[in-house]
Amino acid sequence: MRLHVADHPLIAHKLTVLRDVRTPSPIFRQLTEELVTLLAYEATRDIRTESVEIDTPVAHAMGTALAEPRPIVVPILRAGLGMLEGMTRLLPTAEVGFLGLQRNEETLEAITYANRLPDDLTGRQCFVIDPMLATGGTLVASIEYLFERGARDVICVTLLAAPEGLRTVQDAIGDRADVTIVTAAVDDHLNEKGYIIPGLGDAGDRLYGVV
Ligand code: URA
């Protein structure tokens, strides 16, 4: 597993406003999109491309285009949806799949309750989007799900990560495949309720209100 903490003053600024408890949902949503677009720029550094021949108005030239098969963006429901617009702004031709995972409160295992993904992800670059890498349970289950369908190149984009969650992903995935985590910051720790500290609270609630 590789970790990339996106270090940029605009990212730090927008993240600070997101963290602020006084920031209302509409601003939170807009800032999340902006922040994700900046993170998407970092996350797509190794996106697969191919050489193409084109004609400019004055010459024949070689250029670069995204390779086939197209990358797939996978928001983890529900909070990952708040990151989709920011991601597809930079990757408008990406396919979008969906994955809904919920924790079984008895076994604490993540179970899939919704899935809209191709059965075969062989050779596809998958961009998993989920704002908070807290315990890491959901992210590990998502990555395993994509592996089962043949994916071997997974880039996870999160707003925040906790050291505990990063360790969980590292322990579960090891060097089995090409997994990269791109995040705006690694925070201090998780509290006893599984919230990232200092964090930004419940990302889903702050995006969509408490439902
Ligand atoms: N999920 C959230 O939305 N916030 C946290 O702090 C941890 C998990």
Whether 180 contacts 4, CB under 8 Å: yes
Within-domain flag for 58: no
Q: For residue 15, is pLDDT > 70?
A: yes
How buried is residue 65: exposed, middle or buried, by Cβ count under 10 Å (0-12/13-18/19+)?
exposed
Tens of pLDDT, residue by residue over 168-189, are 999 999 877 799 999 999 999 9
Q: What is the whole-number distance in angstroms between the Cα of residue 154 and the centre of ligand 1? A: 22
pLDDT given for residue 111 in this prediction: 85
Mutate to test the pocket of ligand 1, among 132, 135, 205 (most ligand atoms within 8 A of CB): 132
pLDDT given for residue 108 in this prediction: 65
Within-domain flag for 199: yes
Q: Residue 184's domain is classified under what CATH number?
A: 3.40.50.2020
Q: For residue 156, is pLDDT > 80?
A: yes
Which residue ranges make up the annotated binding site? 78, 103, 130-138, 196, 201-203
* Whole-angstrom distance, CA of residue 17 vs CA of residue 159: 13
- β-partners of residue 51 are 64
Within-domain flag for 60: no
Within-domain flag for 54: no
Within-domain flag for 80: yes
Strands 98-103 and 110-116, sheet pairing: antiparallel
Confidence of residue 114 (pLDDT cuts 50, 70, 90): confident
Domain around 190: 2-49+65-208
Confidence of residue 205 (pLDDT cuts 50, 70, 90): very high
- Does the C-beta of 205 come closer than 6 Å to ligand 1? no
Mutate to test the pocket of ligand 1, among 19, 101, 200 (most ligand atoms within 8 A of CB): 200
Q: Which two tokens stand for residue 49?
A: 């491309």
Q: What are phi and psi of 194, to 5 degrees?
A: 85, 15
pLDDT, averaged across the chain: 94
- Does the C-beta of 199 come closer than 6 Å to ligand 1? yes
Q: For residue 76, is pLDDT > 70?
A: yes
Within-domain flag for 86: yes
pLDDT above 70 coverage of the chain, percent: 99
Mutate to test the pocket of ligand 1, among 19, 101, 196 (most ligand atoms within 8 A of CB): 196
- Does the C-beta of 72 come closer than 6 Å to ligand 1? no
Which residue ranges make up the annotated binding site for 5-phospho-alpha-D-ribose 1-diphosphate? 78, 103, 130-138, 202
Does the interface ipTM go beyond 0.90? yes
| Structural domain count, the chain | 1
Within-domain flag for 57: no
